[in-house]
C-alpha cells in the first residue's frame, strides 16, 4: 500500500478571511479626504484663482484710473493708500464674497453624496457619521477661510505695491500711520473670518436639509443679499441686535478714535452663536436621518426647496417690517459729537498736507445736526434714524478766528456710518495744491465717518 503525496492546494490551505472589524479612519483622515475632494473640482480651483486676480486687478485699476468707489467705506481713499484699497475690497468681500465662497465650498458638500448615491457606502465602509460630519464641516471652513485670507493678503500686498503705503485717514478723521494701519487692516480681515463661518454653517445646513446642490450653493448668497437689504433699512435696535450683518460692521471701530471694545465683543459672540446654531441644527438633522429607508429617497427635494424659499422670504419680510422698531443709536447728539471730531481732525490733516507743518489740535469745532430741513438747534422727534436728509452746521467757536458756520450735507446709514459733502466754497475743491506745488486730495471736500456699530 503506497501513500501518495499531493502538493498543497492553495485554495484549501489559504488563510480564512479576517472578519475582525478594522478601525474607521480618524477625523484627520476625514478632513484630508474632504479637502482633497473639494480642491479636485475645477470650479473651485477657478474660484481660488479669482481670489488672486480680482483684488490684484482692483489695486492696479485704483492706481491707473481716476474714478474711485466713493460710495464704499474707504473707497474714496483707495487710490491714495494701499491700506484703503484692501479695506475697500473687504467691504465687498464681507458682503458678497463670504456667502459666495461658503455656498461653493459648503453648499454641495453633503448634497453631492445624495446626488451620487454614496451615503451607504461611506457610512458602512469608510467613516462613522460624526467623523464624517466634522470632516466635511472642517474641510469647508478651512477652504473658505483660506480663500478669504488669500483675498485679504493679495488686496493688501497689491494695494501697497500699486498704490503705496501712505498713512490712512481713519473714520474719526485721524491720520493713521503706516505701521498701525497695517495691524488694523490685518485685524479687520481676521475679525471678518468669524463672519464667513456663519455662512459656512448656513451652507452646511442648507446642503443637509435640501439635499440639493443648487440650493446649498446659491442659498447663502441669496440670504446674504437679503441681509444686505435689511442692513440698509434696519436702524431700530430690536432688529439690529439680532441681525447677523450687525457684527460684520464691527471692524469699522478699529478705525475710530477711541476704539470701543463692545462692538468687537458683540461681533465675536453673535458670530459664534449663529455658527453654533446653524451647524448644530445641520448635525442634528444628519444624525436623525435614515439612509436605508424611505427617508433616503429624494422624492420631497422640490417641496423642501420651496419651503426653504418661503421661510427665507417670510423671515426677511418680518425683519423688514420691524426694522425701525425700538430705540435707535442714530441720534443727533451722537452725530453732533462725531461730525465735530471728524471735521476737526480732517482740518488738521489738510493743514499738515498743505504746509508740511503740524496743525493746532486745540481748535474747538462745534457741530449741530438735524433732519429734513428742520431749523438747526430745534428739538424735534425726527432728529434720529438713518436717512440722506441730515444737515449739520460746523463752526469754529473761537471768536478771534471770525470763521462763520458752514452747512454740511450728511447721509447717515443704518449701520452707524455716514457720508458728508462739504460746500466747496468753504473748504475748497476736490483737489488742492500744497505750498510746494503738488496736488493732493482735499480730505474736507467729502468724507466718511462712523458712530460705531449701533
pLDDT more than 90, % of the chain: 41
Cell 493713521 identifies what position? 176
Q: Which three cell numbers stand for residue 454?
A: 449701533
Q: Please give the residue that has the higher pLDDT: either 123 or 93.
A: 93
221-230, 294-303, 365-374 — which one is most confidently predicted on average?
A: 221-230
Cα separation of 220 and 440, whole Å? 42
In degrees and rounded to multiples of 5, residue 235 shows phi and psi of: -110, -15
DSSP letter for each residue of 138-176: HHHHHHHHHHHHHHHHHHHHHHHHHT--PPEE-TTSPEE
Residues 6+ apart with CB under 8 A from 227: 243, 244, 245
Torsion of CA 137, 143, 147, 150, to 10 degrees: 120
Q: Which three cell numbers stand for residue 381?
A: 422727534
Contact between residue 93 and residue 72 where contact means Cβ atoms under 8 Å apart? no
Residue boundaries of the structural domains of the chain: 27-321, 332-450
Return the minimum-mean-pLDDT range out of 104-108, 164-168, 189-193, 326-330.
Answer: 326-330
Average pLDDT over residues 162-171: 93
Whether residue 9 has pLDDT greater than 70:
no
Burial of 357 (0-12, 13-18, 19+ CB in 10 A): exposed
Average pLDDT over residues 382-397: 84
How would residue 18 be classed by pLDDT, with cut points 50, 70 and 90?
very low
Side by side, the strands of the sheet bearing 417-421 are 365-371, 387-396, 406-412, 417-421, 446-450
Model confidence, pTM: 0.86
Rg (CA), the chain: 29
pLDDT score, position 5: 45
Contact between residue 338 and residue 420 where contact means Cβ atoms under 8 Å apart? no
Task: Report how far apart, in Å, the C-alpha atoms of 18 and of each of 9, 11, 22 are.
Answer: 20, 16, 10
pLDDT score, position 453: 64
pLDDT score, position 321: 77
First to last CA, the chain: 105
Task: Report how far apart, in Å, the C-alpha atoms of 20 and of each of 15, 16, 17, 128 are.
Answer: 14, 11, 9, 17
64-68, 288-292, 380-384 — which one is most confidently predicted on average?
A: 64-68
pLDDT more than 70, % of the chain: 87
Helix/strand/coil percentages in the chain, nearest 5: 60, 10, 30
Cα separation of 354 and 357, whole Å? 8
Element (H, E) at 395: strand 387-396
pLDDT score, position 205: 93
Report cis status (omega within 30 of 0) of the bond before 258.
yes
Amino acid at each position: 500500500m503506497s501513500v501518495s503525496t499531493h502538493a498543497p492546494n492553495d485554495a484549501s490551505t489559504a488563510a480564512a478571511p479576517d472578519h475582525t472589524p478594522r478601525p474607521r479612519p480618524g477625523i484627520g483622515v476625514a478632513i484630508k479626504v474632504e479637502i482633497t475632494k473639494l480642491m479636485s473640482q475645477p470650479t473651485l480651483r477657478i474660484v481660488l484663482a479669482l481670489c488672486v486676480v480680482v483684488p490684484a486687478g482692483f489695486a492696479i485699476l485704483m492706481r491707473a484710473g481716476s474714478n474711485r468707489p466713493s460710495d464704499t467705506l474707504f473707497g474714496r481713499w483707495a487710490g491714495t493708500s494701499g491700506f484703503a484699497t484692501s479695506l475697500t475690497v473687504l467691504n465687498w468681500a464681507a458682503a458678497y464674497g463670504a456667502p459666495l465662497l461658503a455656498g461653493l465650498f459648503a453648499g454641495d458638500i453633503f448634497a453631492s453624496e445624495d446626488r451620487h448615491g454614496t451615503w451607504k457606502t461611506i457610512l458602512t465602509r469608510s467613516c462613522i457619521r460624526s467623523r464624517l460630519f466634522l470632516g466635511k464641516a472642517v474641510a469647508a471652513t478651512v477652504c473658505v477661510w483660506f480663500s478669504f485670507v488669500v483675498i485679504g493678503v493679495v488686496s493688501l500686498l497689491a494695494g501697497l505695491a500699486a498704490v503705496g503705503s501712505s498713512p490712512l485717514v481713519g473714520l474719526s478723521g485721524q491720520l493713521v500711520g503706516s505701521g498701525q494701519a497695517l495691524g488694523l487692516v490685518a485685524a479687520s480681515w481676521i475679525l471678518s473670518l468669524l463672519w464667513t463661518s456663519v455662512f459656512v454653517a448656513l451652507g452646511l445646513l442648507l446642503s443637509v436639509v435640501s439635499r440639493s446642490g443648487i440650493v446649498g450653493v446659491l442659498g447663502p448668497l441669496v440670504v446674504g443679499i437679503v441681509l444686505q437689504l435689511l442692513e440698509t433699512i434696519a436702524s431700530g435696535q430690536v432688529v439690529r441686535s439680532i441681525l447677523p450683518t450687525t457684527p460684520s460692521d464691527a471692524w469699522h471701530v478699529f478705525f475710530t478714535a477711541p476704539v470701543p471694545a463692545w462692538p468687537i465683543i458683540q461681533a465675536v459672540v453673535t458670530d459664534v452663536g449663529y455658527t453654533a446654531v446653524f451647524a448644530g441644527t445641520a448635525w442634528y438633522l444628519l444624525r436623525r436621518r435614515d439612509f436605508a429607508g424611505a427617508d433616503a429617497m429624494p422624492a420631497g427635494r422640490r417641496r423642501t426647496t420651496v419651503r426653504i424659499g418661503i421661510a427665507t422670504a417670510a423671515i426677511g419680510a418680518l425683519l423688514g417690517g420691524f426694522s425701525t422698531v425700538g430705540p435707535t443709536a442714530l441720534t443727533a447728539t451722537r452725530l453732533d459729537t462725531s461730525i465735530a471730531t471728524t471735521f476737526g481732525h480732517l482740518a488738521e490733516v489738510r493743514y499738515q498736507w498743505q504746509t508740511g507743518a503740524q496743525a493746532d489740535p486745540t481748535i474747538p469745532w462745534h457741530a449741530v445736526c438735524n433732519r429734513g430741513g428742520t431749523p438747526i438747534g430745534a428739538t424735534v422727534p425726527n432728529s434720529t434714524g438713518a436717512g440722506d436728509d441730515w444737515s449739520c452746521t460746523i463752526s469754529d467757536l473761537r471768536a478771534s478766528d471770525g470763521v462763520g458756520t458752514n452747512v454740511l450735507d450728511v447721509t447717515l446709514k443704518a449701520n452707524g456710518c455716514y457720508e458728508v459733502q462739504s460746500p466747496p466754497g468753504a473748504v475748497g475743491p476736490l483737489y488742492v495744491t500744497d505750498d510746494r506745488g503738488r496736488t493732493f486730495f482735499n480730505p474736507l471736500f467729502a468724507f466718511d465717518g462712523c458712530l460705531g456699530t449701533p
